[in-house]
Amino acid sequence: MPDSKPESLKVLLNLLKRFLQGESGIFKDSFRQDTFVYHYYKEIIRYWSKLNFIIRKTQRALKLKSNLHFAETACLLYATYRIFWEGAPNDEIQKEITLPHSEIKPILEKIPSFSWEIALKNKSEEEKLSILEAFPTFFIKRLNKVMSLDQLKMELKSLNNKPKQGEFTVFIKKEVSQVLDMCFINRLQRDINQNNPIFKVDEHLPFLYHVSAKFLPEILSSELYLSGNLIILDKASAAVVEVFQPKKNRLILDMCAAPGIKTSLISHLTNKCASIFANDFSKKRSITMKGIVEKLQNPQMHLINSDGILLPLRNEERMDQILLDAPCTGSGALYTNPELKWRQSREFLYQNVTLQEKLLDSALNYLKPSGILVYSTCSLYPEEGEYQIQKFIDRLIPMQLPSWMSSSYPIDGKNIPGTARLFPSTHHCEGFFIGKFKKKE
């Protein structure tokens, strides 16, 4: 267990209580500074349904009341995680937390004897998977329609674990050799070794590098990062921009651009020689984007805070290239944001599907004939990928995608040309749908 202070545990239990009360967006950036709170909150929320299953089964076995208070449940979630994930002894946990109710103690003492064999008896395969991997049954059932149970198991495990433990990926504006000669990171200077390079080029994307997580603090304080010449991003996001292939001397629209990571990469790859319109509906996210892209000092970057469905542009059909990385359920990026797991539902899915359809229609209206559209979502649902493209296929000409990407889901037994998928278990990145098309004349 990370070193903790009583105040940190108090903050954690309060956050868990608020989560149980149905609050959303409660984990603020300021909590990231406390490694104890950050670690346990993210992991307990990630496995919330599994932990809750253990607690409720134990409660019923003891024939105790079922309506525990939120504060009591928060304590039990923390304790159960410590027992099952870390093997912590009961007496150690009881020293850490003040038990708010007398009925918690017998539950806590009984939990170590919990039996998965007994608890999962007579459960279907989908139910077992939902419980053991801690995903909503809606999520399991929806994806089991488009992938085998074996693949689904692999994807769930990958969504619960960082795609590549111990490293992160970055785009670097300058050559690695130049970066290492800049003498801006002490540890990097000490660890330079030509046989074991610190920046390792990605096997598919030549501008993307893999870096050991131990260098993250040095990277974040480096001049390269602070100036915007080094961008930390997931491989899937980098792959979307690689597919987009932004061209110099073009009018480019990034339709849902915040927080500006892909926009920054587009600016770099065009060497600031394209007119880029970066739009986002959210004022808060647009402010974040402004802070990121201003570092680039690109006079041809134009920020817009507007509804992408009705942009304040003088003329339609004027854009040469449009990137629509649409708002979605985030079902392919649940490792990064485990709270989103528990929003996965039919209602949440179709709320996003409706918005995506309107944005796609608008994107085609803003695009010149023969202009290039890339549509992407960090989603594993076909409704947010293949089914959306199918609605507009009569207006599109498919374009070739990299062979290293996986095929998209077959619809009526056939794959849609111009579409592909990235899977966490295969590509070691977030799960994405990507489609690239030319607008018909």
* Tens-digit pLDDT profile for residues 324-336: 999 999 999 999 9
**Are 225 and 247 members of one domain?**
no
- Whether the predicted pLDDT of 195 surpasses 90: no
Three-class secondary structure assignment of 75-116: HHHHHHHHHHHHCCCHHHHHHHCCCCCCCHHHHHHHHHHCCH
383 and 326 both lie in a single domain? yes
Total domains in the chain come to 3
Q: pTM here?
A: 0.93
How is 49-83 classified by DSSP, letter by letter?
HHHHHHHHHHHHHTT--S---HHHHHHHHHHHHHH
Residue 43 lies in a domain: yes
Q: List pLDDT tens digits, range 362-406.
A: 999 999 999 999 999 999 999 999 999 999 999 999 999 999 999
| Average pLDDT score over residue span 120-147 | 96
Same domain, residue pair 196 and 255? no
215 found inside a domain: yes
Judgement on whether residues 407 and 297 belong to the same structural domain of the protein: yes
Let me know if residue 304 belongs to a domain: yes
Are both 92 and 209 inside the same structural domain?
Answer: no
Please indicate whether residue 323 or residue 91 has the higher confidence score (pLDDT). 323
Same domain, 222 and 243: no
Whether residues 246 and 372 fall in one domain: yes
**Does residue 132 sit within a domain?**
no
pLDDT of the residue at 178: 61
Do residues 279 and 362 share a domain? Answer: yes
Is residue 381 a part of any domain in this protein?
yes
- Reduce the DSSP state of residue 313 to 3 states and report it: coil
pLDDT of amino acid 186: 47
Residue with tokens 């990277």: 219
In 10 A of CB 3, how many CB atoms?
Answer: 7
Interval 79-94 mean pLDDT? 92
Does residue 215 share a domain with residue 239? no
Regarding whether 424 and 363 lie in a shared domain, the answer is yes
Residue 53 in any domain: the answer is: yes
End residue of a domain, out of 68, 102, 122: 122
Q: Phi, psi at residue 68, to the nearest 5°?
A: -65, 150
Half-sphere CA count of 18, side-chain side, radius 13 A? 14
Q: Which of 211, 232, 253 is the last residue of a domain?
A: 232
Same domain, 282 and 271: yes
Report the percentage of the chain scoring pLDDT > 70: 92
pLDDT band at 5 (very low <50, low <70, confident <90, very high): confident
- The residue range of the domain holding 174 is 167-232
Q: Are residues 20 and 51 in the same domain?
A: yes
CA distance linking residue 28 with residue 336, whole number of Å: 14
pLDDT surpassing 60 at residue 187: no
- Tell me if 162 is assigned to some domain: no
- Range with the poorest average pLDDT among 25-34, 88-97, 147-156, 249-258: 25-34
SS3 category, 304? strand
Judge whether residue 177 has pLDDT over 60: no
Cα-to-chain-centroid distance, residue 372: 26
Which residues, in sequence order, are CB contacts of 409 under 8 Å at separation 6+? 146, 147, 382, 385, 386, 415, 421
In a domain, 220, yes or no: yes
Mean pLDDT (whole number) for 144-165 = 92
- CA neighbor of 54 nearest in space, from 100, 105, 116, 104: 116
